[in-house]
Amino acid sequence: MTYRWNFASVFDNWQALAMGLAGTLKLSIVCLILGLSLGLLVGFGRRARRAPIRWLSTAFVEFFRNTPVLIQILWFYFALPMIAPIEVSPFLAAVLGITLNAAAYSSEIYRGGIQSIEPGQTEAARAIGMSGLQTLRRIVIPQAVRRILPALTNRGIEIVKTSTLASVVAYVELMQQGKLIASLNFNPIEAYTVVGVMFMLLLYPFVRATYAIERRLARSD
Amino acid sequence: MKVPVLRLSGLGKRFGSNTIFSGVDLDVLPGDRIAILGASGSGKSTLLRCINFLEHPDEGRIEVGGQLIGHVTGPNGPAVVRYDERELNQLRQRIGMVFQQFNLFPHMTAIANVMEGLVTVRRLAKPEARSKALEQLSRVGLADKADAYPAHLSGGQKQRVAIARALAMEPEILLFDEPTSSLDPALVGEVLGVIEALANEGRTMLLVTHEIGFAYHMATRVVFIANGGIYESGTPDEVLKSPKRALTQQFVADHRRFQF
């Protein structure tokens, strides 16, 4: 028995795929920016001088790191409107679930990166009169980013792929559109294959870009 | 009489229940070059680090240029000095520090290291900061290494860049924390040469070192730290040639064993 691949039925729906691509891009970019920035804050929170900030940050990380994103998205979509007087769109539910999860994971990466910078670096910066904030911005973070870039790249890729989970609340992105095409044309194998390849094509240039940044940052070695 | 550029009175530092030193009194006059000697772990580096508040002293006072750093609180009970971060940031610009491990910023070129304080702290325009930084690099003989990253410099060169970085802020006092202790013996000379040139300019400096011979020739005063405080102090001749107290005599004898 030979299977007859029928990609034409997928490509006929290129407009639906284009809409999905737009949705994936929008969701991914928002989650990348919010998730990785919030992660930096939480990472610092775990090193805060005040104990309550440390506890809160740790609780945040452990809660969102140890619950499935899929359930978080469902929960934000269905349960949140029942306990708070807000309307939650599929987009918002997905952003909340993915962002908070990404923040929890990336905060650990940031924390490790910041901890790995020798105390002598901070001391040297403070000794020429730099403030704590200036020291972070000019001395600690640039060096930490260099060390954590590969790990952060991994996280970024993961965030983009996790955006497929937004299909569970029918947010229009690539996975959702793939499902739609598959259910209309009975061609799930082809539809999901195309969606998978589209992710590959989307992410590979992104990865190449981070390699280029790594090379640029390695100039001082 | 000259006003001390730096005055420590009753200075003390503890880590937990462990007293590092206490009751340290020291007046530093303009142009003084004070060598701080002592066994490893005697607290001499910690004392130096208290002067620019990389460590906060637990007791006593520090005056710079006749002005008390921090403000005294607690009218009832023992007086406690509280420190304000902004004041300390200002103060550290007036006190240059050179570290044992150089602590150059590895992601910046030599000249960017020297410019960093001028640009970020002093807010000088880049071209102005650059020319000032180049001046300092020339002074330590490294103008030709301006665009090299620290990873491409020898230990001695790194330490000279670190000295240039401290000098760029035009500090009133220079602190050297064992500046040659992590260098190959062959590279010690170039760093000591730079420090000697600064001494000849009449700069005020405090130097924690194990180079006892260098301390003898360079210092105007030698302070020997032991038993959690200043154990003996005086001119280099007094402390190093004819020490009066037992631990100082022992220390000097240990360090002269292999000299020829």
Token pair of A50 as six digits? 């005040």
Q: How far is B245 from chain A (nearest CA, A)?
A: 35
Average pLDDT over residues B75-92: 81
Domain enclosing residue A46, as ranges: 19-220
Distance set, CA A198 to CA A20, A48, A155, A174, A205 (Å) = 11, 42, 19, 8, 12
Distance set, CA A94 to CA A16, A83, A172 (Å) = 20, 18, 11
pLDDT in tens, B87-129: 999 999 999 999 999 999 999 999 999 999 999 999 999 999 9
Average pLDDT over residues B13-40: 92
Tell me whether strands B33-38 and B221-226 are parallel, antiparallel or unpaired: parallel
Q: pLDDT above 70 covers what percent of chain B?
A: 97
Whether residue A11 lies inside any domain: the answer is no
Average pLDDT over residues A64-85: 92
The total number of structural domains in chain A stands at: 1
Distance CA A104, CA B7 (A): 49
Whether residue A1 lies inside any domain: the answer is no
In total, the C-beta contacts within 8 angstroms joining chain A to chain B are 76
Among B102, B236, B235, smallest CA distance to B177 is for B102
pLDDT score of B74? 66
pLDDT in tens, B171-205: 999 999 999 999 998 899 999 999 999 999 999 99
Q: How far is B108 from chain A (nearest CA, A)?
A: 7
Residues of B within 8 A of A124 (CB-CB) are 97, 99, 103-105, 162, 165
Cα-atom radius of gyration of chain B, to the nearest Å? 19
DSSP state of B68: E
Annotated domain spans of chain B: 6-256
CATH code assigned at A208: 1.10.3720.10
Instruction: Say yes or no to pLDDT of A33 above 70.
Output: yes
Under 8 Å between Cβ of B251 and B38: yes
Token pair of B71 as six digits? 């403000």
Among B52, B2, B42, B47, smallest CA distance to B26 is for B47
Residues of A within 8 A of B89 (CB-CB) are 126, 129-131
pLDDT in tens, A152-173: 999 999 999 999 999 999 999 9
Whether residue A10 lies inside any domain: the answer is no
Instruction: Say yes or no to pLDDT of B24 above 90.
Output: yes
Cβ distance of A128 and B121 shorter than 8 Å: yes
Residue B105 C-alpha from the chain's centroid: 19
Nearest-5° Cα angle at B133, B131 to B137: 115
Residues of A within 8 A of B120 (CB-CB) are 130, 134, 138
Whether residue A8 lies inside any domain: the answer is no
Most B-contacting residue of A117, A128, A141 (CB-CB within 10 A), to test interface: A128
User: Rounded to 5 degrees, what are φ and ψ at A190?
Assistant: -65, -45
Q: Which of A130, A143, A146 sits opposite B120 (nearest CB)?
A: A130
Instruction: Say yes or no to pLDDT of A21 above 70.
Output: yes
Q: What is the ipTM, given to two decimal places?
A: 0.92
Whether residue A2 lies inside any domain: the answer is no
Q: How far is B241 from chain A (nearest CA, A)?
A: 35
**A residues 100-139 closer than 8 Å to B (CB):** 118, 120-121, 123-132, 134, 138-139
Task: Give the CA-trace dihedral at B141, B144, B148, B150, to 10 degrees.
Answer: -10
pLDDT band at B40 (very low <50, low <70, confident <90, very high): confident
Under 8 Å between Cβ of B145 and B133: no
Cβ distance of A129 and B89 shorter than 8 Å: yes
Distance set, CA B146 to CA B120, B130, B137, B181 (Å) = 19, 10, 7, 24
Token pair of B83 as six digits? 């420190």
Distance CA B18, CA B257 (A): 32
Q: DSSP alpha helices (H): ranges in A128-187?
A: 132-135, 141-162, 174-185
Under 8 Å between Cβ of A135 and B121: no
| A143 Cβ under 8 Å from any chain B Cβ | yes
pLDDT in tens, B125-172: 999 999 999 999 999 999 999 999 999 999 999 999 999 999 999 999
pLDDT score of B75? 65
Residues of B within 8 A of A214 (CB-CB) are none
Place of tokens 């860049």: B161
Whether residue A48 lies inside any domain: the answer is yes
Average pLDDT over residues A115-119: 93
Whether residue A4 lies inside any domain: the answer is no
Residues of A within 8 A of B86 (CB-CB) are 131
The answer regarding whether domain B6-256 maps to CATH 3.40.50.300 reads yes
pLDDT in tens, B51-77: 999 999 998 999 998 888 888 876 665
Average pLDDT over residues B5-12: 92
